[in-house]
């Protein structure tokens, strides 16, 4: 079974830490984008019947419910085993939540990032903790059992006290899934560029140290575990049976189809990527009836280690994989970054914190 990813790169604001190909874009472009999105889905030759759907972005929750339903109606086999929408806090009400449920959605991922007022103000977020609590209430009243809350460790002004304030709110709201990301510093976000340049804009000088960010992450792991929310992937935690079925496809190298700007696809052999921006996407669909920017042959030998080791359960390498990667495996076992249990290989607690260094050894 395959998954479907739908990109909606439109937002009402651009957060300083965001490194996605999304932003505040003209309303006229949004209408053109939706039409191009419908056209791409209609033209797709369905080799598999999808069992998961994921709407990301961007902020797909700001889409009109009727428009959203018209897009979902083009995808085979509704209802799906899992259908997720990413939502910005404050973009939900009782009417919208009920409409989502009727459209076949059964999981909502709330991009909270923080419950602390100073952190929210520094990063351009507009919600409050009370906003998130109201959203969760609307969703539960509409019948949504699976609710995810995203947090970021490393936001400007974040302290031990404010981080624990966010974790306290998670405990109070009792979601069945939590994602905890450590702040990514790269050229694709305004805050990332400022940090790399050594500047002070976007409150870059108030970003916690790397050691403190690691401490925040480990504190989250411990507290969530005590709540029965177990880590099943480096950044993802869930109660038993509440893991994200769609995201598991990425980590288990199962096929998925991407529609929209900057969407990726994988058919088990080839990887494809659409053009990056919403405008490029609209133009590509208009001019050549395809938005694909490139396709490459997947290196499944390396990728299985790269994505498989992200999962807490680890991987069982085949005999030829043990031979190909014998040197880095033995080195990481000796350094305490990997551990072996029979034929199972997985990251240790320290290996999780240094996972990028580990993964780099398995990328061709």
Query: Does some domain include residue 86?
Result: yes
Query: Does some domain include residue 222?
Result: yes
Cα–Cα distance between 302 and 103 in angstroms, integer?
38
Residue 353: which domain range? 307-360
Q: Which of 230, 251, 272 is the last residue of a domain?
A: 251
Instruction: Label residues 17-37 b or e (16+ Cβ within 10 Å = b).
Output: bbbbbbeebeeebbebbbebb
Total H helices, total E strands in the chain: 15, 14
Residues 240, 328 share a domain: no
Residue 125 has a pLDDT of 86
Cα–Cα distance between 50 and 75 in angstroms, integer?
8
Q: What is the DSSP annotation of 234-258?
A: TTEEE-TT-S-HHHHHHHTT--EEE
Provide the CB-side half-sphere exposure for 340 (13 A, CA).
12
Report how many domains make up the chain. Answer: 2
Residue 19 has a pLDDT of 84
Residues 233, 98 share a domain: yes
Residue 301 has a pLDDT of 85
Residues 187, 69 share a domain: yes
Residues 158, 64 share a domain: yes
Cα–Cα distance between 69 and 6 in angstroms, integer?
13
Query: Does some domain include residue 313?
Result: yes
Residues 333, 212 share a domain: no
Cα–Cα distance between 163 and 170 in angstroms, integer?
11
| Contact predicate 90/115, CB 8 Å | no
Query: Does some domain include residue 76?
Result: yes
DSSP state of 209: P
SS3 183: coil
Query: Does some domain include residue 209?
Result: yes
Residue 364 has a pLDDT of 59
Q: What is the CATH number of the domain that holds 179?
A: 3.20.20.70
Residues 13, 93 share a domain: yes
Q: Which of 251, 272, 299 is the last residue of a domain?
A: 251
Query: Does some domain include residue 295?
Result: no
Cα–Cα distance between 120 and 222 in angstroms, integer?
24
Residues 171, 22 share a domain: yes
E strand or H helix at 333, and its extent?
Answer: helix 326-335
Residues 225, 93 share a domain: yes
Residues 336, 218 share a domain: no
Residues 338, 231 share a domain: no
Over pLDDT 70: what percentage of the chain?
100
Residue 339's beta-bridge partner residues?
346
Query: Does some domain include residue 297?
Result: no
Residues 201, 316 share a domain: no
Residue 333 neighbours by CB distance under 10 Å: 15
Residue 139 has a pLDDT of 98
Query: Does some domain include residue 282?
Result: no
Q: Which of 251, 282, 316 is the last residue of a domain?
A: 251
130 burial type by CB count under 10 A (0-12 exposed, 13-18 middle, 19+ buried): exposed
Which pairs with CB-CB distance under 8 Å and at least 24 residues apart come from 351-354? 352/234, 353/214, 353/217, 353/218
Residues 232, 348 share a domain: no
Residue 112 has a pLDDT of 97
Cα–Cα distance between 254 and 323 in angstroms, integer?
24
List the one residue out of 166, 151, 20, 179 whose CA is nearest residue 84.
179
Low-confidence residues in the chain, pLDDT < 50: none
């Amino acid at each position: 079974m395959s998954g479907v990813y739908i990109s909606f790169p439109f937002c009402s604001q651009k957060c300083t830490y965001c490194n996605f190909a999304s932003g505040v874009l003209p309303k006229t472009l949004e209408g053109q984008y939706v039409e191009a999105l419908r056209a791409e889905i209609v033209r797709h030759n369905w080799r598999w019947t999808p069992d998961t759907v994921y709407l990301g972005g961007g902020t797909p929750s700001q889409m009109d419910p009727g428009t959203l339903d018209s897009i979902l109606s083009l995808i085979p086999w509704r209802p799906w085993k899992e259908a997720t929408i990413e939502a910005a806090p404050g973009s939900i009400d009782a009417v919208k939540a009920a409409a989502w449920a009727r459209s076949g959605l059964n999981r909502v991922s709330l991009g909270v990032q923080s419950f602390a007022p100073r952190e929210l103000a520094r990063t351009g977020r507009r919600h409050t903790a009370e906003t998130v609590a109201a959203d969760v209430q609307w969703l539960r009243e509409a019948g949504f059992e699976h609710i995810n809350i995203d947090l970021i460790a490393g936001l400007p002004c974040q302290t031990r006290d404010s981080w624990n304030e966010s974790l306290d709110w998670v405990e109070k709201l009792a979601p069945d899934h939590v994602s905890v990301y450590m702040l990514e510093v790269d050229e694709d976000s305004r805050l990332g560029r400022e940090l790399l340049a050594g500047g002070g804009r976007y409150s870059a000088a108030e970003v916690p140290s790397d050691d403190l960010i690691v401490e925040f992450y480990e504190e989250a792991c411990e507290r969530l575990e005590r709540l029965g929310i177990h880590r099943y992937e480096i950044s993802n935690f869930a109660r038993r049976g509440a893991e994200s079925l769609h995201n598991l496809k990425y980590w288990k190298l199962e096929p998925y189809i991407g529609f929209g700007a900057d969407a990726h696809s994988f058919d088990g052999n080839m990887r494809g990527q659409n053009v990056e921006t919403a405008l490029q996407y609209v133009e590509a669909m208009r001019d050549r009836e395809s938005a694909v920017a490139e396709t490459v042959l997947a290196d499944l030998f390396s990728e299985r280690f790269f994505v498989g080791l992200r999962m807490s359960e680890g991987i069982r390498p085949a005999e030829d994989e043990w031979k190909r990667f014998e040197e880095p495996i033995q080195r990481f076992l000796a350094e305490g970054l990997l551990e072996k249990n029979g034929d199972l290989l997985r990251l240790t607690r320290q290996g999780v914190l240094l996972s990028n260094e580990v993964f780099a050894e398995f990328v061709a």
